[in-house]
Structures are given as C-alpha cells and as structure tokens.
Structure 1
Amino acid sequence: MSLRKLAGPLLALITLLVAACQTTTPGSMQGAVEVRSGVIEQITDVQISNTKTRGLGAVVGGALGLGVGSLIGGGTGRDVAMVLGTIGGAVTGNTVQRRNQAPTPGQDIIVRLNNGVLVSVTQEPTNLRVGQKVFIQGQGEEARVTPAQ
C-alpha cells in the first residue's frame, strides 16, 4: 500500500479528530438562551473536575505517531507502521492530556427560582452572596448564575 493510498484514510482520521472537538450541536439555536430568576439560598466551595478535552493531545499525538511510523521500514510495512503510529499516538496523546488536567476551584450555587423550584449550578468562583437576586442563564452544563441588575 503506497502513501498515496493512505492519504485518504489519514485525512479522514484527522477530519474525524477535528470534528470531535466541535462544541455545538447541529441544529441548535445559537444565541438563544433561557433565563430564569431567583434568590441564592446557598453557596458551597467545590473542586470542578476538568475532564473535557479539546482533542489537541490526540491531534498532536497522532501527528507525532505518523512521523515516527514513517521512519520505520519501507513499502507496505512502512505504510502500516504509519497508520498504527497515528492511531497509537492519538490515543496516547489524548490520555496524557486528560491525566494532566487538574481540578479547578468552583462554587455550587443553589438558587430558589421565583416559582419555588430549587436549582443547583456549579461554576467558577464569583462575587455572589446568599440572599442576592440572580439570573440563571442557559441550562445543563452551560448554565451560569449572574447577578440581577
């Protein structure tokens, strides 16, 4: 198998790795944000585990693996070494990146909405205080508590 024959699969692999870094959902309404209001009932300091990766480790590892694989053998054996090096490097790079992401300080903020429902949002530390009127913008992992003006 020649390098030209491998160019297509390698390009597809790199495209797949880059596409995995996409943060928006197709068809989602960008710019539209749900806003709820309420009063802070409790604030607790927490550690936020940083398990999200942007795929940079996998891309760099894959590129390095491709480079190392290209140095091995010749002909078909070299092509196989390049593919295996790319895959192995991508997996190793992703693992190293995840291992080196330390938890960050944060706050778990419990808000009683105007309709009486309690909502808990974990986010980076802020200057909010118990009893303060706030807005909750967004939902899920993207939700943020901000002061009401």
Structure 2
Amino acid sequence: MFRKTASYLSALVLAVVLAACAAPGQQAGEVQIRTGVIEQITMVQLPSNHHSGVGAVVGGLAGVGIGSLIGAGTGRDVAMVAGAIGGAFAGNEIQKKYDQPVPGQQIIVRASNGVLVSITQPVNPNLFQGQRVYIEGYGDGARVVSR
C-alpha cells in the first residue's frame, strides 16, 4: 500500500516539475517567429567563431608526434619537448591569420506589438531600413530575415 502511494506521489511530483520547465505557449523544437519593421541598421564587427588556443594545442600535439620519431632515449625526449614547444608556437601563429573579426549588423526592429528588438547577426545585404521583416527565434539564436 505504502509503495503504491509513494509511486503515485513520485509520478505526480515529476509531472509538476516537467510542466514547470516547459515554455508557456511553445512546444519543444518550435521556432518563434515575430514580425516587425527595421528601424535602424548599424554595421559592427563580430568576433571570429574560431576557438582560441586550438591552433596551439593541435600544433603542440603534432610537434610531440614528430619529435617522438627522432632519436632514442633522452634525445627523443628532448626532441618531443622541442617539437611540442615549436608546434604550439607555429599553430598559434597560423590560427591568428584565420582569427579575424567578421562583419555584422546590429538591427533594431520595431515588432508588431510596438516593442523594439535589437539583434546582432552576420551581414545580410538584402535588409534595409523601413523593410518589413520576420524575427526568427529568440535570444542568441534570433535572426532577422526579409518578409
């Protein structure tokens, strides 16, 4: 009797917790789409999407691998350390060439409910001030697209 009651109570608590986590009015996997008019477009620089330090890590690992092929014993250990340091330096320098800011736009949209929404995204040359647009998504994933 006690186990059955505890089981029902646990199921009820789980259902309440899951219902509280759900976004009101939106099902999982749905994308929210709002409409509006572009009030202002400002050109900005977006940070690169390359992960900093990856070049150094990959270069260091490659240097260790190449250094392990050289010599034997202590000489091999020295070659591995030198390869790791040299590879890390070279990998970091190579990554710097590709780690440049990307042109973007900060777009201010007056939504159909009167609220101003600011979205920063990569450049879309098809957008202009006064244009009617859709705002897809929300938060960091929001994008402005032409209607």
TM-score normalised by length of structure 1: 0.57
Structure 1 residue 123: Cα displacement: 1.8
* Superposed CA offset, 1:22-63 (max 9, x none): xxxxxxx99542322221110112222315339863564144
Number of residue pairs the alignment of both structures matches? 120
8 Å Cα contact 1:61-1:90 kept in structure 2 = yes
1:112-127 matched pairs, under 5 angstroms: 112-126=110-124, 127=126
Residues 30/40 of structure 1: CA separation in 2 closer, same or farther (3 Å cut): same
Residues 89/41 of structure 1: CA separation in 2 closer, same or farther (3 Å cut): same
If you compute each CA radius of gyration, which structure gives the higher value, 1 or 2?
A: 2
CA RMSD of superposed structures (Å): 3.6
8 Å Cα contact 1:51-1:98 kept in structure 2 = no
Matched, 1:66 2:43: no
Where in structure 1 are there 5+ consecutive unaligned residues?
1-28
1:93-104 matched pairs, under 5 angstroms: 93-94=91-92, 96-98=94-96, 100-104=98-102
Structure 1 residue 142: Cα displacement: 2.6
TM-score normalised by length of structure 2: 0.58
Residues 142/82 of structure 1: CA separation in 2 closer, same or farther (3 Å cut): farther
1:1-149 matched pairs, under 5 angstroms: 32-53=30-51, 57=55, 60-75=58-73, 78=76, 82=80, 89=87, 93-94=91-92, 96-98=94-96, 100-126=98-124, 127-148=126-147
